[in-house]
Amino acid sequence: MRLTDFFLRSDADRVVPPSGFTAQLTLLTAAAMAFLAVFALALSFATGRLADRWSEELARTATVRISAPLDQIGAQTEAALAVLTTTAGVAQARALDLSEEQALLEPWFGPDLPLDQLPMPQLIEIIEDDLGFDAEGLRLRLTAEAPGAVLDDHSRWRKPLVRAADRLRLLGIVSLALIAAATGAMITLAAHAALAANAQVIRTLRLVGAQDSYIAQAFVRRFALRALGGALIGTFLGMAAIALLPATSTGTVGGDSFLTGLGFQGLHWFWPLAIAPLAAIVAFVATRLAAQRTLRGLM
């Protein structure tokens, strides 16, 4: 069967009577599933971006905390900075001043915290170059030169976060697979109902010399085109809903959050356009299998 015949030929369509509620069921199912698929796709992309961003940003920064008696902090800070500036993989190392430390603590303790009266540790921010540094080697050197220095390369809390984001991305992909399977199952049920309702028509067609492929084509074409139409509607509505979600505002509180980041960026907007053809393919395969199973039961 040629593709043009599939879309344009109506002989086989004509000999099978209209199938009422199964047509509406297929259209509605495809639309709802496509709508959900758009969100699952957006979830997958958003979590992917989040995982990449966390992974990239956090992987390139580290902190050295100097906890020592007040009279030794200055010396140990200088010693630690000296170690860091001679460490391969460290692009930049600088000690945070009081105002920066105050800014870090402000969300928890407010702006009036008398930092100069508290025994605060000194923080040194490290920015890695592309090659990165050997964390274990650096720790040993810091212990030797500045006993109060503790290196935190963020791996302790970065890894679970990235793992969580990766799992959310996987969840999105699994959701897409489940949506495809549920669509297939629903269309199979609708196709079975249509085939059962037309059992006498199918028997008559066989008796006047119709081949199985001819009979199956009538049902397959009908269900595939309806699934395509329904999925186009659902995809359009899903993309519109995503477009209307609040946009990400980088630099503000919550700018990197999962909720405000849900959506498509750039070329990712083209991905949902694949949902409708895929729904049609799922419907094609599901209906074809259902039709073949039914026809095999006839002589």
Which residues contact another protein by CB under 8 A? 11, 14-15, 17-18, 200-201, 203-212, 214, 295, 299
Cβ atoms of 20 and 191 closer than 8 Å = no
Q: Which is nearer to another protein, 117 or 200 (CB)?
A: 200
CB of 161 to another protein, least distance (A): 59
d(CA 256, CA 225): 41
Nearer to another protein, 84 or 295 (CB): 295
Query: Toward another protein, which CB reaches closer, 26 or 217?
Result: 217
Count CB-CB contacts under 10 A for residue 203: 12
Shortest distance, position 236 Cβ to another protein, whole Å:
33
Output the smallest distance, CB 42 to another protein, in A.
44
Retrieve residue 66's tokens: 């100097």
**Least Cβ distance, residue 218 to another protein (angstroms):** 10
The residue among 14 and 156 lying less far from another protein, judged by its C-beta, is 14
The alpha carbon of 296 is separated from its chain's Cα centroid by a whole number of angstroms, namely 42
- C-alpha 233/C-alpha 231 separation (Å) is 5
| Least CB distance to another protein at residue 210 (A) | 4
Strands (E), 45-173: 61-66, 90-95, 122-128, 149-152
Q: Based on CB atoms, which residue is closest to another protein, 19 or 26?
A: 19
Report helix angle 199-207 to 275-296, nearest 10. 70
The amino acid occupying position 219 is F
